[in-house]
A and B are shown apart, each in its own frame.
Chain A
Amino acid sequence: MGEGVARFWREIPQRYNFIGDRCGSCERIFFPPKESCPFCRRKSMGKMKEIKLSGKGEIVTYTIIHVGPEDFEEQVPYPIAIVKLEEGPQITAQIVDCNIDEVKIGMKVESTFRKIRQDGSTGAIYYGYKFKKRC
């Protein structure tokens, strides 16, 4: 990409550890963690507590990417899904370790720590979560 390092090299611990947060006012859980709860707003200020999520959930919807961004070209075709986590939040991630045809709405999945992309053959490697079928 050649765009300097700050944007993707900056550490985003939530991305590796599935850390979300819970609103101390309404108990709703968010991922990625929010500075304030969009339902309670000022009542939630200072009451957002970090929480480790299970990484388990199910597929809400999905697509199979056939034309990918440059960094993902060697991975196509690959499934991308919106996963609803057991704790409530929905996230976007790749589905791996299964046949493309197996990916379905409602499929139970769990997170797995993987390499996401790389800046060319010698550039930085970025890691994060993907999801695989839950047995």
Chain B
Amino acid sequence: MRDVAVIGVGMTKFGELWDKSFRQLIAEAGAKAILDSGIEGKEINAMYVGSMSSGRFVGQEHVGALVADVSGFSNLHISSTRIEGACASGGLAMRQGYLSIASGMNDIVVVGGMEKMNDVLGASATETLATAADQEWEAFFGATFPGLYAMIATKHMHDYGTTKKQLAQVAVKNHANGALNPYAQYQREITLEQAMNATSVAYPLGLLDCSPVTDGAASVVLCAAEKAKDYSDKPVKIIGSGQASDSLALHARRDICTLDSTVHASKMAYKQANLTPKDVDVAEVHDCFTIGEICAIEDLGFVKKGEGGKAIDNKITTLDGSLPVNTSGGLKAKGHPVGATGVAQMVEVTLQLRGDAKKRQVKEAKIGLAHNVGGSGASCTIHILEAM
């Protein structure tokens, strides 16, 4: 296995981007990452792109080749593959890119992730997102995607005394971070009162517990680590990569409050990196709903099971806390264009480790972690990065 480094990152602004098409978004993100890396198109060996449901959102499949085409590489005939794993599509694409270089097959790979979700009506977007759940045994009976995470929240509150206020504080924190991120969909703070009193979506989750419907794309250029310094002054090494799966349906899991795919994928990544959760300085975790962030910091081993809510009270995860989480604003405030999310998390962690995160820079960040989840926890990818 060869070491792999991130040598370039780029993303579009996230939000309701009415004036931009699906293909414009990914072409923009890819071009930014490629320019940031200093590579030339002809040096690219392969591309991997994550998209959850371009077919339902914009009526376009076969987007692997499309991305290479709109990026100006059709005459270079670059291998380009689309990866799907619901909201973890971006993380899965990252791992495929990583593996293809680690294996020795490729030297330079461009990874992308994108979703254009606002070209369909809200109800249709909700229905498309519900395809990440078990259609025959969950969605058929009226369970929505927020409803599944809401059931995790109800159980977490019952078993561990987690409160609706603690859930709301996750949203408040992530909006505060998003206010510092010029690429975020919501660059504004919200108050605890607003978060707690927002209209109910699926009890106990209100509107401000939920990540929004977002358009956007992100891209990362990966390179064999031994060649990284030929291109970048500040390459960031991927020192651990993990992926795991679980039952598609929430009800079939070992424990409703634990995402075992996160537990297993992170163990795999920590082992490879020879690190423990305590070594992580900054993390982007999958807060598609506020309860998702609370479970994530537990399942990643940052705090004990059941203490995720308390960690929010104790401000451990705020920008100036001992382990800042979702400095980008997270899925909650930065936005959640599902296929792009896993790649955008890598963009943020890379910026933090390069010292390029500006107003939201975490001091002396050396080790960063990105945690991307598909569905209610059926897929998970983890990547651990270190400044070189």
Chain A interface residues toward B at CB < 8 A: 7-8, 12, 32, 60-70, 72, 75, 77-78, 80-82, 90-94, 105, 116-117, 126, 128, 130
CB distance from A132 to the nearest CB of B (A): 14
Across-interface contacts of B152 in A (CB, < 8 A): 61
CB distance from B105 to the nearest CB of A (A): 32
Q: Which residues in window 188-214 of B have CB below 8 A to A?
A: 199-205
Across-interface contacts of B201 in A (CB, < 8 A): 66-67
Is B166 at the interface (CB under 8 A from chain A)?
no
- B158 x A78 contact (CB < 8 A): no
- A63 x B147 contact (CB < 8 A): yes
Across-interface contacts of A12 in B (CB, < 8 A): 136
CB distance from B340 to the nearest CB of A (A): 24
Across-interface contacts of B126 in A (CB, < 8 A): 67, 69
**Do A61 and B158 contact each other (CB < 8 Å), given the known contacts A80-B151, A82-B256, A92-B138?**
yes
Chain B interface residues toward A at CB < 8 A: 123, 126-127, 130, 135-144, 146-147, 150-155, 158, 199-205, 249-252, 256
| Distance between Cα atoms of A33 and B105 in the complex (Å) | 42
- B142 x A65 contact (CB < 8 A): yes
- B143 x A66 contact (CB < 8 A): no
* Chain A, interface SS category: strand
**Do A116 and B142 contact each other (CB < 8 Å), given the known contacts A61-B151, A80-B147, A105-B155?**
yes
Across-interface contacts of B143 in A (CB, < 8 A): 65, 80, 92
Of A32, A61, A78, A128, most B-chain CB atoms within 10 Å: A61
Across-interface contacts of B249 in A (CB, < 8 A): 92
In the complex, which residue of chain A has the Cβ closest to the Cβ of B154? A61
Across-interface contacts of B146 in A (CB, < 8 A): 67
| Distance between Cα atoms of A8 and B146 in the complex (Å) | 23
- B203 x A66 contact (CB < 8 A): yes
Query: Which of A81, A90, A128 lies in contact with B140, CB distance below 8 A?
Result: A128
- A66 x B256 contact (CB < 8 A): no
| Distance between Cα atoms of A84 and B123 in the complex (Å) | 30
Query: Which of A32, A75, A78, A82 lies in contact with B151, CB distance below 8 A?
Result: A82
Across-interface contacts of A65 in B (CB, < 8 A): 142-144, 147, 202
Of B127, B141, B146, B202, most A-chain CB atoms within 10 Å: B141
Query: Which of B130, B158, B203, B251 lies in contact with A63, CB distance below 8 A?
Result: B203
Query: Which of B142, B147, B154, B251 lies in contact with A117, CB distance below 8 A?
Result: B142
| Distance between Cα atoms of A65 and B145 in the complex (Å) | 10
| Distance between Cα atoms of A126 and B142 in the complex (Å) | 12
In the complex, which residue of chain A has the Cβ closest to the Cβ of B150? A63
Across-interface contacts of A75 in B (CB, < 8 A): 142
In the complex, which residue of chain B has the Cβ closest to the Cβ of A105? B158
| Distance between Cα atoms of A15 and B259 in the complex (Å) | 27
Query: Which of B135, B155, B205, B251 lies in contact with A91, CB distance below 8 A?
Result: B251
- A69 x B127 contact (CB < 8 A): yes
In the complex, which residue of chain B has the Cβ closest to the Cβ of A7? B135
In the complex, which residue of chain B has the Cβ closest to the Cβ of A126? B140
- B123 x A69 contact (CB < 8 A): yes
In the complex, which residue of chain A has the Cβ closest to the Cβ of B149? A63
| Distance between Cα atoms of A78 and B200 in the complex (Å) | 12
Across-interface contacts of A91 in B (CB, < 8 A): 137, 251
Of A67, A77, A81, A130, most B-chain CB atoms within 10 Å: A67
In the complex, which residue of chain B has the Cβ closest to the Cβ of A38? B247
In the complex, which residue of chain B has the Cβ closest to the Cβ of A63? B150
| Distance between Cα atoms of A52 and B141 in the complex (Å) | 20
Across-interface contacts of A117 in B (CB, < 8 A): 140, 142
- A67 x B144 contact (CB < 8 A): yes
CB distance from A70 to the nearest CB of B (A): 5
Across-interface contacts of B138 in A (CB, < 8 A): 92
- B203 x A64 contact (CB < 8 A): yes
CB distance from A17 to the nearest CB of B (A): 15
- B202 x A92 contact (CB < 8 A): no
- A78 x B141 contact (CB < 8 A): no
In the complex, which residue of chain A has the Cβ closest to the Cβ of B257? A61
| Distance between Cα atoms of A68 and B145 in the complex (Å) | 10
| Distance between Cα atoms of A128 and B136 in the complex (Å) | 11
3 tightest A-B CB contacts, nearest first: A63-B150, A61-B155, A64-B203
